[in-house]
Amino acid sequence: MKNYLVAIAALAFIGACSSSASNDKKEAAPAVAATPAANDITSNPDYEKGLTLIAKSDCLTCHKTDSKLIGPPYKDVAAKYESNEANVKLLASKVIKGGSGVWGQIPMTPHPTVSEADAEQMVKYVLLLRK
């Protein structure tokens, strides 16, 4: 059964990766619109930098701001992890190295070409979504 789930996850990832980068950019606009205006986190420089990096990556293939796709919604990640330097480093490492088990059995693929600085910037954006 476990092998079956891993095979399904691999097929889903392969299918998702075959989509063009322009699809990722189309997904970025709803992330901005879904952000609560009351907190106005959009004025934070980490917000725009992180959002831009995420829009250029394949993150939106598996993650959305408010709803589960393959991976957890960004708002759920933000709710689970307090925004501090230790968590930024931890989550940036997971972006680069991949991982599994925290959010279920479907593994997050590694992103070894993402620099540590870019991964940290993406994580800072996600953690800004905390309510």
Determine the residue type at 36: P
The CATH homologous superfamily for domain 2-128 is: Cytochrome c-like domain (1.10.760.10)
The helix/strand/coil state of 108 is strand
Query: Phi and psi of 68, rounded to 5°?
Result: -75, 135
CA 16 to chain centre: 14
Bigger pLDDT: 111 vs 14: 111
The string of pLDDT tens digits covering residues 24-68 is 444 444 444 454 455 588 888 899 999 999 999 999 999 999 999
pTM as predicted: 0.68
